[in-house]
Structure 1
Amino acid sequence: MEDFDDDATAPEHLKGMLTAEIDAIRDAMTIVQMFLGEGVIAGVKLLQELEPKENKVD
């Protein structure tokens, strides 16, 4: 197997395609974080507060 050439460069159209793909993944992660981030944490806290409390008698 040949070693990679350190001086090799990628064609400009390939660089553009990779950059666009990375941007699309980053945008998707941002949207998921908006819906699943703080909102889910707040929802869980709310559900914990609405949960009936158990009366423990020792």
Structure 2
Amino acid sequence: MNRKTYLRLMLALTMTYGFLIAALSMLGIGDIGLVAIVGGLVVGLGWALSSVVVKRGPTP
């Protein structure tokens, strides 16, 4: 997986997560705090690992 594909995947995941939290909040479904915490950790770890997992270009 190259860097551009991974970053696009992370952007899509982040947007989906935001939409999910907004939809759950609008519908008034309980335990949204737990969903927000778990999802935030997953998305945050994904962004943190984006520099570790993705191969970088050749170093000069």
TM-score (norm 1): 0.47
Using CA pairs under 8 Å that are at least 6 residues apart, name the structure with larger relative contact order, 1 or 2: 2
Question: By percentage of residues, which structure has more helix?
Answer: 2
- Name which one, 1 or 2, has greater alpha-carbon Rg: 1
